[in-house]
Amino acid sequence: MKLEFFFDYGSPYSYLADVQLAAFVERTGAELVYRPMLLGGVFKATGNSSPAFEPCEPKRSYGGREMARWIAHLGVPFVFNPHFPINTILLMRAAVAAQHAGVFESFHRAIYPAFWADGENLGDAEVIARVLGAAGVDAKPLLEATAAPEVKGELRATTEEAVGRGVFGAPSFFVGDELFFGQDRLMFVEAALAGA
C-alpha cells in the first residue's frame, strides 16, 4: 500500500516524522512516496500559520514543551534552527530536482539533519551546496534546476494538490484518500495501512 508523505524541510515536526519512517516502512511494508511541498504556500492558501507563531502564549509555551518531550522520546539530535523561519522555496525546489536526478535519497539524508540537528541556514544556496557536497551530492546541477519551469511548476502543483486534498500543515500523510496530520498520528496511519 502506498503511503504519501507531504513535507517541507522547514517543519520540525516533519523532521520528527521522518526519523520514524524507516522503521515504520520496514514494519508495515508500505511504499513510501515523498511529496515535497511548500509549507508557506499551504499556510497562505488555508489561512494557517506556523505553531512557532501561535498568538496564545500559554499554547505556544506548551507546544515547546511538547516538542521537547517528543525529541526526548524519539532520542534524536535536535536544535531549534537559529535562522528560523527560513524561506524554503529554493530548498524544496532542489528536493524536486533531486527526485528528477535520482539522487533524492542522498539529498534527503543530508538535508534534514543539517536543518534540525546542525542548525544550518538552508535558505542560502551556498550553505545548501556545502551541506550536499559534504554528503557526496553534486549541488550545482540541482541548484541550477531550481530555476527550471518544470521544477518550479511541479512544486507549485504538488502544493496546490495538497491543499486541494485537505492539507493545512506538515507533516501530512495519505493512505489512499485518507489524510493523517502530525508525526504523532503514525499509529493511525499504520492501522489504515493494515486495513487497506
Identify the CATH number of the domain in which residue 138 sits: 3.40.30.10
Q: What does the alpha-carbon distance between residue 128 and residue 65 come to, in Å, rounded to a whole number?
A: 30
The residue written with cell numbers 520528527 in the block is: 16
At 195 the pLDDT is 87
Amino acid sitting at position 96? V
Number of compact structural domains in the chain: 1
Going residue by residue through the chain, which has 196 residues, state the pLDDT in tens, using 9 for 90 and above. Answer: 899 999 999 999 999 999 999 999 999 999 999 999 999 999 999 999 998 888 999 999 999 999 999 999 999 999 999 999 999 999 999 999 999 999 999 999 999 999 999 999 999 999 999 999 999 999 999 999 999 999 999 999 999 999 999 999 999 999 999 999 999 999 999 999 998 7
* Single pTM value for the model: 0.96
List the domain range (segments joined by +) for residue 145.
Answer: 2-195
DSSP 22: H
With contact defined as beta carbons under 8 Å apart, do 37 and 5 qualify? no
Q: Identify how many contiguous H helices and E strands the chain contains and give both numbers.
A: 9, 4
Return the H-helix or E-strand segment holding 3.
Answer: strand 2-7
Q: Is 84 helix (H, G, I), strand (E, B) or coil?
A: coil
CA gyration radius for the chain?
16
What strands lie across the sheet with 31-36, from one edge to the other?
31-36, 2-7, 172-175, 178-181
User: Which pLDDT value is given to residue 98?
Assistant: 98
Q: What does DSSP assign to residue 148?
A: S
Distance CA 169, CA 117 (A): 21
Integer Cα distance of 26 and 101 in angstroms: 25
Active site residues: 11
